[in-house]
Copies of this chain bind each other. A is one copy, B any other.
Amino acid sequence: MPVTIQDVANAAGVSPSTISRALADSPRVKLETRRRVQQLAQEMGYMPSAIARGLATRRTHKLGVVVLALADPFVSELVSYIDQVACQHGYSLLLSSCGDDPQRELAAFNLLRQQRVDAVIVADPSVPERFVPSMKNGESPVVLINKKHYPHSVATDNLAAATLAVNHLLDLGHTRLAYIGSSKNKVESQERLTGYQQTLTQRGMPVDPSLIVEGDGGCQGGWQGAAKLLRLPEPPTAIFCFDDLTAMGAMGAIQATGLSVPGDISVVGCDDIALGQYLSPPLTTVAQYKDQLARLSVEMALSLLHAEQPMPNQLLPARLVLRGSTGCK
């Protein structure tokens, strides 16, 4: 049995309330008593029960984090940042992977509701759209990452991201430029596609529909997408991929046929996962500011809680990272 506030109160010869106040460093208790109590609590190894405190204050200091696939490097890096920020604010993360099964989705989200998390952050953009409405029913605010169309979100500007990538490739002199999208992230992928198309058009290049194929946001989809492009009578000389995993798969497919990256085909990814720089060749990519996505999403969640002026939706820029897969460096 853990030490309770009563135990400490008895030991200190004061009432539980005083202990409670002293530990909160309330000025309402005499400095001396405060110090004494604090030290005593420390010595006794007293750990306030977050559970009892939660019941009393109706605030659990827990953030629910919903993801579909934690194993996706972008997602795990993001969650890692979120955890850091949350920790700084005295919050813990309650994880909830909803898997791909609609049944589990609901169960997972209900678990979060039962746990009375103060807010939930949907940290994986591939969490299905159909999952989102059910969240509204909950009483805790929901912040979505990279779903800018929802009430509370912080997202990377996909249009700008695609523009950076395509301009880079165009600057390199490429004229046949493909895009591999993601069926798992329809909206995001569509936005990046739009950026791709707009940029081509703006720079006076034709948009060839046969150069637009769909992956699944993972390596496999990237591989298959690239394989399809390679079978074209006139294959592209550069590929912009929905994300870094797609790009990895694409590079694999290209290299497996004996072609060279970037010698024959240049590849650009998106996200900037940590492993990208260790691929051969290192992956040129459009980086998302994961640290900012994390920080802002936590801050937004917290601001929603404290009913300050509702923090507006955030749209973050992206950053081009030049590496070997487009022949840079």
Contact = CB atoms under 8 A, between A and B. Distances in A.
A194 to B, nearest CB: 28
Contact of A84 (B75, B97, B111): B97
A99 B83 CA distance: 10
Contacts of A251: 280
Contacts of A104: 87
A71 B77 contact: yes
Contact of A52 (B55, B96, B282): B55
Contact of A50 (B71, B83, B97, B115): B115
Contacts of A116: 2, 49-51
A274 B83 contact: no
A83 B70 contact: yes
A49 B256 contact: no
Given A2-B139, A115-B51, A79 B70 contact: yes
B114 A97 contact: no
Interface residues of A, number: 61
A54 B223 CA distance: 48
A32 B76 CA distance: 47
Contacts of A195: none
A79 B249 CA distance: 24
Interface string A248-261: 11011001100000
Interface string A89-118: 000111111010000100110111111100
A282 B248 CA distance: 11
B60 A69 contact: no
A328 interface: no
A115 to B, nearest CB: 5
A45 interface: yes
A96 B96 CA distance: 14
A95 B121 CA distance: 14
Given A51-B55, A55-B52, A92 B71 contact: no
Interface string A276-311: 011110100000000000000000000000000000
A95 B97 contact: no
A51 B60 contact: yes
A176 to B, nearest CB: 23
**Top 6 nearest A-B pairs by Cβ distance?**
A76-B76, A219-B278, A255-B280, A70-B80, A93-B95, A50-B114
23 contacts: A51-B54, A51-B60, A55-B55, A69-B80, A70-B83, A71-B73, A71-B77, A73-B275, A83-B97, A84-B97, A92-B95, A92-B111, A92-B112, A219-B277, A219-B278, A249-B278, A252-B278, A252-B279, A252-B280, A252-B282, A255-B280, A279-B279, A279-B280
